[in-house]
Amino acid sequence: MTEHKRKYQDIKIPEELNRMINQTIRKEQQERNRRKRQTRWIAAAAVLVVFVTPLNISQGFADTMAEIPIIGQIAKVLTFRSYTVESEELVAEVTIPEVAELNNQAFEDKINALIQEKVDQTLATAQLRAEEDRQAYLETGGTEDGYEERKTEAKVDYTVYAKSEDALSFMLYSYDSIAAAYAEYSYYNLDVKNDREWNLQDLLGEDYVAVMTDQVKAQMSEQEDIMFWEEVALSDWKVREDIDFYINGEGRVVVVFDKYELAAGYLGRLEYEIVK
């Protein structure tokens, strides 16, 4: 872990930013409640559409569908909330998932709290970087008006990998306009039936590190167009125990390596599917 990364891991969320986020969320909730009253009449006619159309087909459509009461378990596991946070240095567009209608309310609340905590920390970190960028810009001859035109833009969003009555797997990601190196990814893999989070040992067995390592090495050997780091080819190289992973639509584990972990950064984050 670099010193630069450590610097931002222990950031405390400023009270002003936290208050700004909470005010924005309250305004968004009020607007959602207003839209809910206006769209109730659509519910009966839209039930068939809800069951055959993905919630995330488009931002506008999904936002409307999120207001319609959901019947049964087919679409119960995920909704979303969108809002904008703005300060003198930063404009952040936030779209975050919310787990809903799980069997265990305490588990549902825990996951949603973890998601919100992660988003708050992400915004606090982005705010600090934006303040540092603004200060550096002004100290090197930039003007306030000039900075207003290049204000830092941040984005928080999510990707769903698997959504069923058995499992929910999604990734929360964020990045800002200062540098792509500040992109961040958090994975959530939920055992919906048993109200818990999956871990790799649950999914791949006690020898999960060996299982992952063997299969990743086999797949890398077939990627002749990629030049991996020399240490990756050593016999004692293993996949990290805490490797990021998600569950795909086929119910299989996909491990995700950090940028630069296996090879040159331009290749991005490399992924490998693991078959049990």
Q: What is the pLDDT of residue 272?
A: 98
Retrieve residue 112's tokens.
């949603």
Q: What is the pLDDT of residue 44?
A: 27
Is 3 in contact with 68 (CB distance < 8 Å)?
A: no
Structure-token match 């299969």, residue found: 215
Burial per residue of 67-98, b for 16 or more beta-carbon CB atoms within 10 angstroms, e otherwise: bbebeeeebbbbbbbbbebebebbbbebbbbe
Give the start-end residues of each E strand in 20-72: none
Q: Among residues 193, 188, 191, 243, which one has the least CA distance to residue 213?
A: 243
Q: What is the pLDDT of residue 52?
A: 33
Per-residue pLDDT of the chain (276 residues; tens, 9 = 90+): 444 444 545 555 556 666 666 566 556 555 554 444 433 323 322 332 333 333 343 444 344 444 444 434 433 568 889 999 999 899 999 999 999 888 889 999 999 999 999 999 999 999 998 999 889 989 999 888 888 878 889 999 999 999 988 889 999 999 988 766 678 999 999 998 899 999 999 999 999 999 999 999 999 999 999 999 999 999 999 999 999 999 999 999 999 999 999 999 999 999 999 998
pTM metric for this prediction: 0.73
Domains 3-197 and 200-274 agree in fold: no
- Is the CATH code 3.90.640.20 the one for domain 200-274? yes
Q: Where are the domains of the chain?
A: 3-197, 200-274
Distance CA 219, CA 62 (A): 37
**Three-state secondary-structure class, residue 175:** strand
* Options 3.30.565.40, 1.10.3720.10, 3.40.630.30, 3.40.50.1370; CATH of 3-197: 3.30.565.40
